[in-house]
Chain A
Amino acid sequence: MRLGLVIDLDVCVGCHACAIACKEWNASGTIGPLSDYQPYGAEPSGVWFNRIRHFEMDEYPNNKTVNFPMSCNHCEDADCVTVCPTGASYKRAEDGIVLVDQDKCMGCNYCSWACPYGARELDRSSGTMKKCTLCVDRIYDQNLPVEERQPSCVLTCPAHARMFGDFDDPDSAVSRVVRERGGYGLMPELNYNPTNQYLPPRRKPVIEMSGAPKGGLKESIKQFANRLVRR
């Protein structure tokens, strides 16, 4: 099994609900707590497994805002695991989830240096490295209804921009949508082989803009005034 996420950049509205749900679940999960520093102070900061950035592609009038959620990519060739000197970082053979054993981590930060995606964050109060667990304490929980055995971020997404599944199964929903929509992994040139896939924004029909001004006396006075005014 190769479990991971698909994130639809065409659908994501950038509401940060996935990040909040992630924090809520994992703060009391196997790897919790996720410490906050000065949460109500002047410089609020803290540990998050999921962060949403906002990018703009192309320029006006063809520009588009792309909301960009990022968490651990659970890479196939995860350098964060190979560089770890203590054996705290490991990749599970059965489902490919990359985890940090909190009892072994010595907080040297080396794995975070090796991660190009910024998935790992040091918890300064426990002194250990923390990262997305793909909600490993949830997806196998027999006490939950089957449809709820998914990562918190996926369940909460109001736009259905996130999907969870097995990429080794060519007929799984995630494999199919990646095939159909041309999904891709980030920074392929570094050869980490990230499991998580991103679906590119769809091409939208171009909306016609009014071209030449209408003409007439009112319009020419306006243009004359515009030339006079110094801005």
Chain B
Amino acid sequence: MHPAFSVIFFTVASGAGFGLFSLLFIADTFKLGGGFERDQLVAGGLIAMALVVFGLLSSTFHLANPKNAWRAFSRFRTSWLSREGVFAMIFMPLALIYLASIMFDAPLWLREISGFLTAVLAWITVFSTGMIYACLKTIRQWNTPLVPANYLALGYASGSLLLLLGAVISGLDTMPYIAMSALIVAIAAVLKAIYYFWIRDPGLSPTINTATGLTRAKVKLLDTGHTHGTFLTQEFGYRLARKKAGLIKTLVFVIGFGLPGLMLIAVFNGESGQFAALAAALGGLIGAAMERWLFFAEARHVVNLYHGAQRC
């Protein structure tokens, strides 16, 4: 698949935003590390919402006809893309109610209920983002439950690292935030490793034989029938050398999971905590962006069987 920059930015930014917001609610409810001040909570919540909004706006840049984008909310019952938009739109007012109830000292029940609902909707929205890809039977590398699991784990991992940065800047006790980040980043790393292991094996996937129905002999493509590239080759023809993919996978683990892990130790030891927390958050986000790029670049659509691939 052709890796579109707008979609990569959208999924990484909105994932981190949704993750940050729900973890902020947890940090607020349990007063982790002494608890954030009122203004700090509101600032954190607004940063999370900004990440989500900029992500959603960026996602409209890959539309060829954005004037019809408002119609994308209409097929909620069947389309995961529509569901994602609808859930994100329900998230927004709930998140504002939660932040307002913090700001204006609303009764605790309102604050807790709106915060909980916001956190649940954040989870559902990131799950829907993953399901956009996981529901496609045409791309073997995507059609697995590991995809929404990866989207959730990576979104929450980068969100937890951003929250840790906030805790360090606010001068809270960082211990609970370090523990939370370490746990979520470790889960994200393990899930991603399982995913990379899983997609190595083609398994039961379509071949050039089932694509043409000529199943009794070897089949090979003689001619694609077009002079130059088509929409199909431009959208689905992207190919990535195995070596390069291996290098990027290594980088994902070193920068996206290893570096934040090391920086967590630095924050724990109290050595230039702010710098370490910033490096951890940036590493997490850059790692997630590389992971997302690879997620698209490695996906092989079955239409490639009609353009020369023997199996997908």
A residues sitting closer than 8 Å to B (CB atoms) are 16, 19, 43-45, 47-48, 51-59, 62, 65-66, 68, 70, 79, 81-88, 103-110, 112-118, 121-122, 124, 126-128, 184-192, 198, 200-201
Q: Which 6 A-B pairs have the closest CB atoms?
A: A107-B64, A127-B65, A127-B64, A58-B217, A85-B82, A106-B68
Closest to B302 in A: A116
Distance (Å) between the CB of A54 and the closest chain B CB?
4
Contact B230 A48 (CB under 8 A): yes
In the complex, identify which listed stretch (B70-78, B181-189, B264-272) lies at the interface while the others stay far away. B70-78
Question: By the criterion CB–CB under 8 Å, are A51 and B79 in contact?
Answer: no
B235 engages A83 (CB within 8 Å)? no
Interfacial residues of chain B within 93-123, with CB under 8 A of chain A in the complex:
none
**A87-B71, A112-B235 are known contacts. Are A53 and B225 too (CB-CB below 8 A)?**
yes
Check B74 against A86 for contact (C-beta < 8 Å): yes
What are 24 pairs between A and B in contact, CB < 8 Å? A51-B230, A52-B225, A55-B220, A56-B219, A85-B71, A85-B74, A85-B82, A87-B71, A88-B71, A107-B64, A108-B64, A108-B81, A109-B235, A113-B235, A115-B303, A116-B206, A116-B211, A116-B302, A118-B232, A121-B230, A122-B231, A188-B210, A190-B137, A201-B214
Q: Which residue of A lies closest to B304 (CB)?
A: A118
Q: A108-B81, A114-B138, A128-B65 are in contact. Are A54 and B220 (CB under 8 A)?
A: no
| CB within 8 Å for A85 and B228 given contacts A124-B64, A128-B65, A190-B137 | no
Smallest Cβ-Cβ distance to B303: which chain A residue: A118
A-chain residues with CB within 8 Å of residue B218 when the two chains form the complex: 57-59
In the complex, whether B275 has a CB less than 8 A from a CB of chain A is no
What residues of chain B have their CB less than 8 Å away from a CB belonging to chain A? Answer: 1, 62-69, 71-75, 78-82, 85, 132, 135-139, 204, 206, 208, 210-214, 216-232, 235-236, 301-303, 306
Q: Are B64 and A55 neighbours in the complex by a CB distance under 8 Å?
A: no
Interface contact B210-A122, CB-CB below 8 Å: no
**A197 to B, closest residue via Cβ:** B213
Contacts beyond the supplied A55-B220, A106-B69, A187-B302: 8 A-B pairs with Cβ under 8 Å: A16-B225, A19-B225, A48-B230, A66-B212, A85-B71, A113-B301, A189-B204, A200-B213
A58 nearest CB across to chain B (Å): 4
Contact partners of B223 in chain A: CB under 8 A? 53-54
Chain A residues with Cβ under 8 A from B212's Cβ? 55, 57, 66, 68, 186
Q: Which residue of B lies closest to A51 (CB)?
A: B225
A113 CA to B137 CA, complexed, in Å: 9
User: Is the beta-carbon distance between A121 and B228 smaller than 8 angstroms?
Assistant: no
Contact with B75, one of A52, A86, A116, A127 (Cβ below 8 angstroms): A86
Contacts of A58 in B (CB 8 A): 217-218
Asked whether, in the complex, the Cβ of A104 is within 8 Å of the Cβ of B68, the reply is yes
Cβ B79 vs Cβ A84 within 8 A: yes
Whether B206 lies near A55 (C-beta < 8 A) is no
